[in-house]
Structure 1
């Protein structure tokens, strides 16, 4: 199959593979999955995640009903409420009192605010990198956090998509949305570039978390 014949979802996956793998191999992620970090490091990851998911999901609301990308705004993917419950469980009811953005997180938030409310391709790029990752590699993190910290549901609700019964068919549906959207060639190129930016921004957050907890 040639690049011309294959769907855009496959091209996007291939075009972001290197940055995706670099993020997965970060020192922080490997230490967390290896059981070498404390529960506070995991809570720190969720706290930083809460800051950028809030912006991404606000952007999603602004695109709801859009004729081109409104279909990507799927309520079953939304994570903000689950993150709030996890953080309350892990850090207590006043968890917001200690919430502050790391510099890398602030850069991530700034990029989301800059691009995702006005640019369809940029919004979908960030949406793709977050939620498809949560539905695949995020499930590995969930299982490891349950094993390492003895969690059941509380504390890992962020990774539980209870409104998506079967992740594999859903991921196929999501890829069909990517393939079916009427992207121009310029939008496809911009979307791949922005998705790589998203992976780099995410890796920078991991790197700063590593400096705090490793």
Structure 2
């Protein structure tokens, strides 16, 4: 009799190819290899600001939803850290000096749409961003810290002071995914939305690469 794979394992398996394409996109790969500039890094932080502003605004709306609210944790909140990073990296007028790229605008619009209408879709984006932040994101933060001589200022986005054990946190999150009361059709929709989120991320890196090339 074949083993029954858990939803979280199926989600991880089905999205692994999209995840790999995203993290190996040229812009991100160059940044991690030391071929990207400080300005490239700042451009990425700026786009993250718009994404997380949408995601965390949606999280506030989802606090009363019986399914989505289970996944919410104040320890994950990234917006204050992004604001501090941008003030350090750009200056006190950072809000006037950044703008979302076209792909970021589409990404944000999708997060706002599902965050207002579809708990499972919101969880898909929540999962894609935050579990990624607690995995490869921690590595990215350490690389940027060494590359640009940062201490905590500039990489606060990647510092989760309130999560002592990221691995244990992710294990609990996956248990919550497995316990979510979704039927098979809804689980398929959630997986499809995770794939969509990864595609947005890949396109963001491609667009950042194009902007860098034009500059």
- Distance in 1 separating the partners of 2:144 and 2:74: 25
Structure 1 residues without counterparts, runs of 5 or longer: none
Matched, 1:63 2:39: no
Matched, 1:16 2:15: yes
1:112, distance to aligned residue in structure 2 (A):
1.0
Matched, 1:152 2:141: no
| Structure 1 stretches of at least 4 aligned residues deviating more than 3 Å after TM superposition | none
- Distance in 1 separating the partners of 2:132 and 2:67: 22
| Matched position secondary structure for 2:185 | helix
Matched, 1:87 2:86: yes
- Distance in 2 separating the partners of 1:204 and 1:174: 27
The CA deviation string for residues 108-160 of structure 1, in whole angstroms up to 9 with x for no partner, is: 11111222221011000000000000000001110110111011111110010
1:170, distance to aligned residue in structure 2 (A):
0.4
- Distance in 1 separating the partners of 2:109 and 2:119: 17
TM-score (norm 2): 0.96
Matched, 1:39 2:38: yes
Matched with 1:161 is: 160
* CA RMSD of superposed structures (Å): 1.2
| Matched position secondary structure for 2:40 | helix
- Distance in 1 separating the partners of 2:55 and 2:152: 24
Q: Tell whether the 8 Å contact from 1:61 to 1:73 is kept in structure 2 after alignment.
A: no
May I ask how many residue pairs the two structures share in their alignment?
A: 213
Q: Tell whether the 8 Å contact from 2:47 to 2:101 is kept in structure 1 after alignment.
A: yes
- Distance in 2 separating the partners of 1:25 and 1:63: 32
- Distance in 1 separating the partners of 2:67 and 2:49: 27
Structure 2 residues without counterparts, runs of 5 or longer: none
Matched, 1:196 2:195: yes
